[in-house]
């Protein structure tokens, strides 16, 4: 059953999850879609500029004529897909047939979509679906393009406050002691798994 709602969500972000026990993905600066096995976060149109139309339904009803921008297998222990805002307001729900659900997301714009379409379907092969899932509920993955002149990256636990966008970590020895610098051998793309 196709559902639609126009909202201006807090922080321009919505969460799509399968009910109890969901683990939200870690916020990664610049990531438009982040996911764990049980929750997907999607950036919407800027809340101060206007609403985002959210569309939810079976892939056969809402799927677009192009490849999805994001596909995953979502744990749905309550046999439900739920779209919620950051402040836990439920926008819409849709029942599912199984405890694992294939999820496809289309966005009308790569950065600030005015329409976010979420299609669901039951995986045809449950064993294959389980193998495609992320290794643990706590896992978050994202990919970022790197410029060709990058020779190293710095990883830290994020415990140091970064209150401004132009934060320069190299100016704070305390921050530098909280992480590790790694050489980058192939500076085309970087995939992080935490």
Please, what's the b/e burial string for 80-115 (b: 16 or more CB within 10 A of its CB; e: otherwise)? ebbbbbeeeeebbebebeeebbbbbbbbeeeebbeb
Q: Are residues 85 and 132 in the same domain?
A: yes
pLDDT tens for each residue of 171-192:
666 666 666 666 776 655 565 5
Report whether 118 contacts 81 (CB < 8 A): yes
In the chain, how many domains are there?
Answer: 2
Which is more confident, 125 or 94? 94
Is 76 a residue whose pLDDT tops 80?
yes
Q: Are residues 43 and 115 in the same domain?
A: yes
pLDDT of residue 26: 74
pLDDT of residue 144: 60
Region of 30 please: left (phi>0), alpha (psi -120 to 50) or beta: left
Domain that holds residue 23: 3-139
Q: Are residues 79 and 126 in the same domain?
A: yes
pLDDT of residue 137: 41
DSSP label at residue 191? E
Domain boundary, last residue among 99, 119, 139: 139
DSSP label at residue 2? -
Domain boundary, last residue among 121, 139, 157: 139
pLDDT tens for each residue of 11-61:
999 999 998 878 788 767 778 898 888 899 999 999 999 999 999 999 999
Q: Are residues 53 and 79 in the same domain?
A: yes
pLDDT of residue 36: 85
Q: For tokens 């190299």, name the residue.
A: 170
pLDDT of residue 136: 44
Is 170 a residue whose pLDDT tops 50?
yes
Q: CA 35, 63, 99 angle in degrees (round to 5)?
A: 50
Domain boundary, last residue among 99, 124, 139: 139
Q: Are residues 103 and 186 in the same domain?
A: no
Quote the radius of gyration of the chain (alpha carbons, Å): 18
Q: Are residues 134 and 52 in the same domain?
A: yes
pLDDT of residue 141: 47
pLDDT tens for each residue of 115-165:
999 999 988 877 666 666 655 443 444 556 666 677 776 666 655 554 445
Report whether 103 contacts 119 (CB < 8 A): yes
Q: Are residues 75 and 166 in the same domain?
A: no
Which CATH number is 63's domain given? 2.60.34.30
Q: Are residues 72 and 168 in the same domain?
A: no
Q: Are residues 151 and 180 in the same domain?
A: yes
């Amino acid at each position: 059953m196709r559902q639609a709602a126009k909202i201006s969500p807090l922080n321009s972000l919505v969460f799509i999850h399968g009910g109890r026990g969901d683990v939200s993905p870690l916020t990664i600066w610049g990531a438009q879609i982040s996911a764990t096995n049980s929750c997907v976060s999607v950036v919407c149109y800027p809340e101060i500029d206007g609403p985002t139309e959210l569309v939810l339904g079976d892939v056969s009803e809402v799927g677009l004529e192009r490849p999805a921008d994001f596909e995953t297998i979502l744990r749905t222990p309550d046999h439900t897909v739920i779209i919620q805002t950051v402040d836990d307001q439920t926008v819409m729900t849709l029942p599912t047939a199984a405890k694992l659900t294939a999820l496809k997301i289309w966005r009308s714009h790569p950065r600030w979509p005015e329409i976010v379409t979420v299609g669901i379907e039951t995986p045809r092969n449950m064993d294959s679906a389980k193998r495609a899932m992320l290794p643990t509920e706590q896992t978050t993955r994202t990919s970022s393009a790197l410029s060709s002149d990058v020779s190293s990256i710095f990883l830290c636990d994020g415990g140091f406050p970064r209150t401004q966008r132009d934060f320069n970590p190299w100016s704070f020895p305390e921050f530098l002691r909280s992480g590790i610098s790694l050489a980058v051998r192939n500076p085309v793309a970087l995939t992080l798994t935490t």
